[in-house]
Amino acid sequence: MVEDHDRCYRAVRSRDARFDGVFYTGVRTTGIYCRPSCPARTPHQHNVEFFPSAAAAQEAGFRACRRCRPDTTPGSPEWNLRADAVARAMRLIGDGLVEREGVDGLASRLGFSTRHVNRMLTAELGAGPLALARSRRSQAARVLIETTDMAMADIAFAAGFASIRQFNDSIRTVYGLTPTEMRGRRGGKTSGRLAIRLAVRRPFDPDGLLTFLGDRAIAGVEHVEGRVYARILRLPNGLGAVRLTLHDDRVEAELELADLRDTAVAVERCRRLLDLDADPVAIGDVLAADPLLAPSVAEVPGIRLPGQVDGFEVVVRAIVGQQVSVAGARTILGRFAAAYGTPATFDLAAEHGLTHAFATAEAMADADDTALSMPRSRAQALIGVARSVAAGELDLEPGADRDATHKALLGHRGIGPWTADYVVMRAFGHPDVMLETDLIIKRMLDRYGVDAARTATWQPWRSYAALHLWRLASTPKETA
């Protein structure tokens, strides 16, 4: 996209919000970079250059526009769509891996040398992993400076900076302001409860998303009421609680964390749970071309793929859900959370009756297969997977190799294609899983004579096609 200068400029000239987060516009005459939909006067084409990431624009010496706030855009949908090493790296950087394990840790997860990872990211994104992580930290810090009353030292700590000096220098470089100037004259105070606004790429279907999550909500772990979703989070440095209020054009997130260093990770996982970085227009354009899906796409143009905040939890859900109703699975999962989960005491959680974080793989690995309230074969499959995850043999992190994980899951006794496909679809937000072995989807495909050649035309959005098929199967009026 960035190499096509004319196409990028057309998007800027039309202020096309679909490209927000996909590329960034640097204006040489002002030294600032913007999102494509910036409302300011469109600069002359010969005065602009385009960047594939905010970090690349910052590395080139541009500072963020204060009017369009390019750092508040949704993330690029490309990183969920692609499965190559660069996309895996971006998902891991987004999950805060560089802050926790450094570039060496990132390279180790990807299976490459540190030099090769730097070379790959710089070649495609115009910035290496350290610069990308620094840009992410600056964005997280800006949100906290402008939307909370936290003290600056706490913000630096929460955003992942190693020192106050590094925090001050980064904010000044990226935004052209000191942290104090950015906040103005408001006083600061330490608080473990944060309110953050999450950007959404429209159109957005919050009601369908909440219906899906609410039908599967695990008692004590998560709760849905109206347009509010609340749950306990398990994060790298401790537990947390979140309340997400979904609107048609944004999501308001309220967080209460045991450790403020988990702020950016918690936000990223909430975005992944709600699939906020999806490109609904691109998805709709492909799926609406099929007469079976077109009515559903027209009615719900912003359908989202429900993601997760814990990959292991998705595996447990998938195994428990084999040949069991959604309500029955909820009951079993609630028992698991109470018996093997971690107690959580947050005021925000208590407001919604939440008491536990879901069980860890380590806790489930030690479970007795006769005490799991499910057929023994499935209990043994669940314990086997838990042991693999606990031992590091099964990778469910955001940057995992999807194909390798899918193959590893199928290698476990008691896990078939449906379970493996469902895990890859939800745990990794994979946009192109068809789920042909799902009974409802299979029935719909057979009923309307949809063959493999036709479903191939739905690529690369077959996961969203599956959501539409589930929806069509549950509505009284189905349209061929």
Active site positions, annotated: 34, 438
By DSSP bridging, strand 356-357 and strand 24-27 are: unpaired
Helix (H, G, I), strand (E, B) or coil at 285: helix
For 341-379, b where at least 16 C-beta lie within 10 A, e where not — what string? Answer: bbebebebbeebebbbbbbbbebbbebebeebebeeebb
Is cis: bond before 460, omega within 30 of 0? yes
**CA distances (Å), 286 to each of 150, 267, 476, in order?**
45, 30, 25
Close Cβ partners of 299 (under 8 Å, ≥ 6 residues apart): none
- What is the rounded distance in angstroms from the CA atom of residue 432 to the CA atom of residue 162? 39
- What is the rounded distance in angstroms from the CA atom of residue 468 to the CA atom of residue 4? 33
Cα dihedral across residues 38, 39, 43, 45: positive or negative: positive
Nearest to 307, CA basis, from 80, 102, 134, 96: 80
Q: What angle do CA 204, 206, 212 make, to 5 degrees?
A: 125
Close Cβ partners of 211 (under 8 Å, ≥ 6 residues apart): none
Q: Which residue has the tokens 């009017």?
A: 67
Helix (H, G, I), strand (E, B) or coil at 266: helix
Q: Which residue has the tokens 């009974």?
A: 439
Close Cβ partners of 427 (under 8 Å, ≥ 6 residues apart): 308, 311, 314, 315, 396, 405
Q: Residue 183 corresponds to which tokens in the numbers above? A: 């906040």
Is cis: bond before 203, omega within 30 of 0? yes
- What is the rounded distance in angstroms from the CA atom of residue 362 to the CA atom of residue 477? 46
Q: Which residue has the tokens 């838990």?
A: 386
Q: Which residue has the tokens 């509010």?
A: 228
Report the first-to-last Cα separation within the chain, whole angstroms: 36
Q: Residue 246 corresponds to which tokens in the numbers above? A: 């979904």
Number of neighbours of residue 472 by Cβ within 10 angstroms = 21
